[in-house]
Chain A
Amino acid sequence: MKRLFQASLLLLALLAGSTPLFAHHGNASYENKQVTIKGKVTQWLWTNPHSFLMLDVTDENGKVVHWICENNAPSTLVNFGFTAKTFKAGDEVTVVMSAVAKSGAPAGRITKVILADGYVMNSEVR
């Protein structure tokens, strides 16, 4: 899965740099690494202390991997235009993450989400 997007990652990394974007809960379980996935939203959890975008990603062999993508707190995300209704199940999105689980589990922290029509929803706190 990751290999499939290697070229994309390299390009994005070149453009955006590879700066760690935000470090929050459980630093021990994440490593800073930019990963991009594309899939279908299964759930958008608008929850405290952080929100989560759940995503089904289908690889080239048709295998579906369920990703857990952590985003910031709603009280921060509202300032970026996110709401509890920004995503709904079935939406096709591309998720760019700045860190992923060290364990190799399909989980990471969101930097931005690119919607199906190309609109970019950044959530990077500077």
Chain B
Amino acid sequence: MPRRFVASAIAVAALTLLPVVHAQTPAGAQGGQGRGGQGRGGQAGGRGRGAAAPAPNGQNENIHVDGWNRKQESLEAAGKKPGPAPARDLSGIWEPVPRYRDGVFASGPRDMPSDAAHEAMMPYTPQGKQAMASHKAGFGVNFAPIAEINDPFDTCDPIGFPRIILFNLRAVQIVQTPKQVLMLYQNTRTFRTIWTDRELPKPAEITEPRWFGYSVGKWTDPTTLVVTTTGLDESTWIDNTGRPHSDQLVVEETYHRVDELNIDLTVKITDPVMYTQPWYPLKNFRLGMNSPDFDIREMICSVSQQALFNQLLKNTTEAAPAK
């Protein structure tokens, strides 16, 4: 409530005290529609500020919605009591909890963020250190000026694996078939295939490194799927701060279904070329089950939009100052 109070106070101050704000009507007094019914009235599927339900305090609220703008929260947050974990089953629509943005990881994954303390703990080999220095990221402890950034994702190169789970891990739908576990990601609207019926290809058999590599999954117990991925394209970054990898990278993901409504994800990075020992970007990172009605919204890296974004950001450093 204090947050709401402060925001209200600001709104009131803005309306009553500030000459720069030319308020036409008191906040919240218009039960109005959004732009053609599509504007801010779109809050929570149009319920936020419709005529029948004026928004409180004359301001919007942070209400999690899905791709169809319907209010959503994890099933557990909605009051459902989790039953026991089903056996060998991860299927469902999942999202980080307790907050849906907990997997954004702009400055590095939760358990190895790129701050001074954690960066000092990173077990780089000399080659790894050199590769890291050549990666000019927009984020992290050594973020580069915009003009120097060489992040491959900034031109919409495929985000690749494991960055797909270590940057902007948003909603993910898991689908199982008799031989596969499919991961359908909100971020970049891409998917991975994890084969559960076979062994990994031997290194000599991998003639084509791939953006998302080659993945196999093994149930180590009825509620734990361990996924191993190799054959990864070297041009991708491990995370949003430029942690490098070689073609020797092996990523191990452990999906532990804690109960009916929760999965804990642990990720282990092994790459003897770049790192002297394995490291863990995520340890028991929790995903909560959403309603089966949850529509995963688009989150596309559009080349033309990204180019515009890059240009606009460049303008912030090069444009003439405001007088």
Residues of A within 8 A of B87 (CB): none
Q: Nearest residue in A to B64 (C-beta to C-beta)? A: A79
- Inter-chain contacts of A65 with B (CB < 8 A): 322-323
Which residues of B have CB within 8 Å of A67? 322
Are A105 and B27 CB-contacts (below 8 A) given A1-B323, A27-B138, A86-B34? no
Cβ-neighbour of A16 out of B10, B42, B139 (below 8 A): B10
Complex-state Cα separation, A126 to B44, whole angstroms: 19
- Chain A 29-51, CB-CB to B under 8 Å as 1, else 0, gives 11000001010000001011110
Measured in the bound complex, the distance between the Cα atoms of B38 and A4 in whole Å is: 34
Cβ < 8 Å to B, chain A residues 67-126: 67-68, 70, 73-76, 78-83, 85-88, 92, 94, 101-107, 114-122, 125-126
Number of interface residues of A (CB under 8 A): 64
Q: Are B7 and A120 neighbours in the complex by a CB distance under 8 Å? A: yes
Which stretch (B202-210, B220-228, B278-286, B309-317) binds chain A?
B309-317
Instruction: Give B14-48 as 1s and 0s: 1 = Cβ < 8 Å from A's Cβ atoms.
Output: 11011111111111111010111011101110001
Q: Are B61 and A81 in contact (CB under 8 A)?
A: yes
Return A22 CB to nearest CB of chain B, in Å. 9
A27 CB to nearest chain B CB (Å): 5
Chain B residues with Cβ under 8 A from A1's Cβ? 322-323
Q: How far is the CA of A118 from the CA of B11 in the complex (A)?
A: 8
Given contacts A75-B299, A86-B40, contact A48 B20 (CB under 8 A): no
Residue positions of A touching B, CB distance < 8 A: 1-2, 4-5, 8, 11-12, 15-16, 23-30, 36, 38, 45, 47-50, 52, 63, 65, 67-68, 70, 73-76, 78-83, 85-88, 92, 94, 101-107, 114-122, 125-126
A-B contact list, 13 entries, CB within 8 Å: A25-B138, A25-B139, A26-B313, A48-B309, A49-B306, A52-B309, A79-B63, A106-B322, A107-B319, A119-B55, A119-B58, A120-B59, A126-B3
Given contacts A48-B305, A105-B322, A120-B58, 4 further A-B contacts (CB under 8 A): A26-B138, A118-B24, A120-B14, A122-B7
